Chains A and B, each alone.
Chain A
Amino acid sequence: MRTVRILLLTALLVGLATSALAQSVTLLNVSYDPTREFYREYNAAFQKHWRTQTGQNVTIRQSHGGAGSQARAVIDGLDADVVTLALAYDIDAIHERAGLIPKDWQSRLPNNSSPYTSTIVLLVRKGNPKGIKDWDDLIRPDVQVITPNPKTSGGARWNYLAAWGYALKKYGSDEEAREFVRKILANVPVLDPAARGTTNTFVQRRIGDAFIAWENEALLAIEQLGRGEYEIVVPSVSILAEPPVTVIDRNVDRKGTRQVAEAYLEYLYSPEGQRLAGKHYYRPSDPAIAKEFEAQFPDVKLFTIEDVFGGWQQAQTRHFLDGGEFDKIFDSLRR
């Protein structure tokens, strides 16, 4: 009789303990550099949403850095539940090198798994002293250009491809495009590893005349670091940047967090998630919400990476892998 009672008591205690554990759950979102402010606010919103929906407390941990190095960390075992990176190639790498996600990860959520988009613009100093109007002005020898390193930064790869795409449209040949990009890179005094570092180089250390930046990063820099000190120059043509998101299947299945991780990403597409994205200067993918933020985003003629480069795999292989176009250009500059 006594043993039965003890057994029952133990079972009850174990049951209580596990249900207490189920009351809270932790997610790790591994993201790229300029999303810090957006996810801080979005996480709080999702926390509230999840609590009213399920009664469960969710804590969301953030890790930020250059998209390439962040993907590398996930491949090396950083325990991400979701990744929200700057470009699809870096997430492809997580599939290829570590097999943590299926090959078709990008078709699992709407809009190529990109809940918000952005583009690449130019940030210049107040009054635009060098008279910079379009990509062409960046190859002038008197203009210093700030952009991060495409090897580690996703934003920098969008910058590079935007410039290449512009030159290709204007001059029509790969040779001319290469020469154009080479001239821009020749004007770069420091190549920071990630987007946020370049913003600090341009804004805090006051180096450079034109800063090739994410639209959201440029708008944020103006907002946070000096209204009226900087101006945005919208180039005639730019690239449609789609930063995608995905759950890391192997990790969420091991940790038992799949349900909340998937809800976390789906909520990005909800009106509230979309509005927060708009508030932090990302272009919402929901047309109705995008209309609310219309005034904030200049009208730019945008081309996609599929149109001009045949997708990220091809662009990455040709331009950014070891021995690719970027390496060749960089070598020719050092000589």
Chain B
Amino acid sequence: MSVTTTTARPAAHPPAAPLPRPRRARRLATEEAPWVRYTLITIALLFLLCFLVLPLAAVFAGAFAQGAGLYLESIREPDALAAIRLTLTVVAISVPANLVFGVAAAWAIAKFEFRGKSFLITLIDLPFAISPVIAGLIFVLLFGAQGWLGPWLGEHNIRIIFAVPGIVLATAFVTFPFVARELIPLMQEQGKDEEESALTLGANGWQTFWRVTLPNVKWGLIYGVILCNARAMGEFGAVAVVSGHIRGITTTMPLHVEILYNEYQFAAAFAVASLLTLLAIVTLVVKSVIEWKTDRRRRRAAH
């Protein structure tokens, strides 16, 4: 068992490149004149400043434009709280669902051969390829009052679209590929040698999955979940189509930001937007902390 886990580790870190890399890096650096290097660095920094730092600063500047009092008030307002609650609910359902699906799909695709495999891969990519608005419309066509299942749902008084289930469905659909897409290349690269050795050593399928496959893809999985989570919180287009924009009931945070903006409450709009940004930053920090801790533990173990 221990053999498999130690050999697995380098593969779990795609950036851990083969040895000759530092030498090549030094040679590349000496080839370019200093002015080229500095120009390139300046361009890159300016680009970062314009497209990442400035908009981020603008969101927070707008949020506090009319003081911290109004900021707190706009976040504590009942409709804003309802939007935050709804966003977290949607994330809490759609992300775990996509986690389970993503792992299952990637496992099947990377470790087994079966007919229709490339078709399955294409299907998984579908939500990336089609516009979120179309994704929303699909659910209106399926579950809307004039849609395929609409009359039946109406008779049984079940609400899907213009209610929370529709928003969850639309979000899950749009964030569908993130986990699977992250894991498939990783698992394919790792091959199935380790699983096969585990099996020959007497592990059953379940044990192999939990103790060999899953630890090997842990980082890719966490990364996929974080991307999935970020997109699920921020999704606008698909959710806008199925939401019905009922204030305090079916408005997620991005929709609430739009409503506030449309009602000339710019400071409040930016306040909620900044909260959404903060949530995103928190996810990134959590990711870095986990990464750093495991990295340290690994190094300690190597000594």
- Shortest distance from the beta carbon of A66 to any chain B beta carbon, whole Å: 11
A-contacting residues, B87-104, CB 8 Å: none
Give every chain A residue within 8 A of B167 (Cβ-Cβ): none
Which of A74-82, A207-215, A265-273, A292-300 sits within the interface?
A74-82
Closest chain-B Cβ to A71's Cβ sits at a distance in Å of: 12
Contacts of B245 in A (CB 8 A): 63-65
A279 at the interface (CB under 8 A from B): no
**A37 CA to B110 CA in the complex, in Å?**
56
Measured between beta carbons, the chain A residues less than 8 angstroms from B244 are 63, 73, 78
Q: Separation in Å of the A227 CB from the closest CB of chain B?
A: 14
- Contacting pair A98 B262 (CB below 8 A): no
Q: How far is the CB of B81 from chain A (nearest CB, A)?
A: 15
B window 140-155: CB within 8 A of A: 140, 143-147, 150, 154
Tell me if B159 counts as interface (CB < 8 A to partner A).
yes
A79/B146 contact (C-beta < 8 A), A36-B262, A64-B245, A200-B262 known = no
Give CA–CA (A78, B259) in the complex, Å.
18
Kindly list chain A residues whose C-beta atoms are within 8 Å of the C-beta of B248.
61
Interchain CB contact under 8 A, A62 and B262: no
The CA-CA distance from A81 to B133 in the complex, in Å, is 26
What's the Cα separation between A76 and B244 when bound, in Å?
10
Please give me the residue from chain A that is nearest to B262 by CB atom.
A196
Q: A76-B145, A97-B146, A98-B145 are in contact. Are A200 and B247 (CB under 8 A)?
A: no
Within the assembled complex, what's the spacing in Å between the Cα atoms of A76 and B154? 11
On whether the beta carbons of A225 and B154 are closer than 8 Å, the reply is no
Complex interface: chain A residues within 8 A of B140 (CB):
76
Query: Inside 8 A of A73's CB, which chain B residues have their CB?
Result: 162, 244
A77 touches B150 (CB 8 A): yes
With most chain B CB atoms within 10 A of its CB, the pick from A63, A75, A76, A197 is A76
A196–B162 Cα gap in the complex (Å)? 22
Given contacts A98-B145, A196-B262, contact A77 B154 (CB under 8 A): yes
C-alpha spacing A200/B262, complex, angstroms: 8
Interface range, B side = 20 to 34
B109 interface residue (CB < 8 Å to A): no
Q: Is the interface of B mostly helix, strand, loop or mixed?
A: loop
Alpha-carbon distance between A64 and B264 when the two chains are bound, in angstroms? 14
A62 touches B263 (CB 8 A): no
**Distance in Å: Cβ of B184 to nearest Cβ of chain A:** 36
| Chain B residues, CB < 8 A from A79 | 159, 162
The residue in A33, A65, A254 that gathers the most chain B C-beta atoms within 10 A of its C-beta is A65
Q: Separation in Å of the A281 CB from the closest CB of chain B?
A: 14
Question: Whole-angstrom distance from the CB of B276 to the nearest CB of chain A?
Answer: 20
For chain A, which range describes its interface: under 10, 10 to 19, 20 to 34, or 35 or more residues?
Answer: 20 to 34
Chain A residue, CB-CB nearest to B145: A77
The CA-CA distance from A98 to B245 in the complex, in Å, is: 20
Which A residues touch B263, using CB under 8 A? 36-37
Q: Which residue of A lies closest to B159 (CB)?
A: A79
A200 to B259, CA, bound (A): 12
Instruction: Say yes or no: is B249 at the interface (Cβ < 8 Å to chain A).
Output: yes
Contact present for B246 and A63 (CB under 8 Å): yes
Indicate if A28 sits at the interface (CB-CB under 8 A): yes
B225 within 8 A of A: no
- What's the nearest-Cβ distance from chain B to residue A81, in Å? 12
Q: A36-B262, A77-B154, A77-B162 are in contact. Are A62 and B247 (CB under 8 A)?
A: yes
Q: Contact: A75 with B264, CB < 8 Å?
A: no
- Residue B261 at the chain A interface, CB threshold 8 Å: yes
The one of B157, B162, B264 in contact with A78, judged by C-beta atoms closer than 8 angstroms, is B162
Known contacts A77-B162, A79-B159; A200/B261 CB under 8 A: yes
Q: Does B169 contact A (CB under 8 A)?
A: no
Q: Which of A43-74 contact B (CB under 8 A)?
A: 61-65, 73
Q: Write out the residue numbers on chain B whose beta carbons fall within 8 Å of the beta carbon of A97.
A: 146
**Closest CB-CB distance, B129 to chain A, in whole Å?**
24
B145 touches A75 (CB 8 A): yes
Known: A36-B263, A37-B263. A76 touches B246 (CB 8 A): no
A18 on the interface (CB 8 Å rule)?
no
Interface status of A19 (Cβ within 8 A of chain B): no
A332 close to B (CB within 8 Å) = no
Contacts known (A76-B147, A79-B162, A98-B146); A28 close to B246, Cβ less than 8 A: yes
Residues of chain A within 8 A of B157, CB atoms compared: 254
The reply on A3 being an interface residue by CB < 8 A is no
Give the complex CA separation of A65 and B162 in angstroms: 14
Quick one: closest A residue to B261, CB to CB? A200
**Which residues on A sit within 8 Å (CB–CB) of B147?**
76
Of the listed residues B140, B143, B246, B263, the one surrounded by the most CB atoms of chain A closer than 10 A to its CB is: B246
A143 to B145, CA, bound (A): 44
Q: Flag whether A107 is at the interface (Cβ < 8 A).
A: no
Q: Which residues of B contact A63 (CB under 8 A)?
A: 244-247
Query: B161 at the A/B interface (Cβ < 8 Å)?
Result: yes
Q: How far is the CA of A79 from the CA of B245 in the complex (A)?
A: 12
* Nearest Cβ on chain B to A195's Cβ, whole angstroms: 10
Task: Report the Cα distance A77→B154, complex, angstroms.
Answer: 9
Q: How far is it, in angstroms, between the C-alpha of A63 and the C-alpha of B244 when the chains are bound?
A: 7
Report yes or no: A61 in contact with B247, Cβ–Cβ below 8 A. yes
A62 & B264 in contact (Cβ 8 Å cutoff): no
Complex Cα–Cα for A65 and B150 (A):
23
Residue of A nearest to B251 (CB): A63
Q: Which of B238-287 contact A (CB under 8 A)?
A: 244-249, 259, 261-264
11 CB contacts below 8 A, A to B, read A33-B262, A36-B263, A61-B249, A73-B244, A76-B140, A76-B147, A76-B162, A77-B161, A78-B246, A98-B146, A200-B261
| Residues of A bordering B, CB below 8 Å | 28, 33, 36-37, 61-65, 73, 75-79, 97-98, 196-197, 200, 224-225, 254
Given A77-B145, A77-B161, 7 more contacts at CB 8 Å? A28-B246, A36-B263, A62-B247, A63-B246, A76-B162, A77-B150, A78-B244
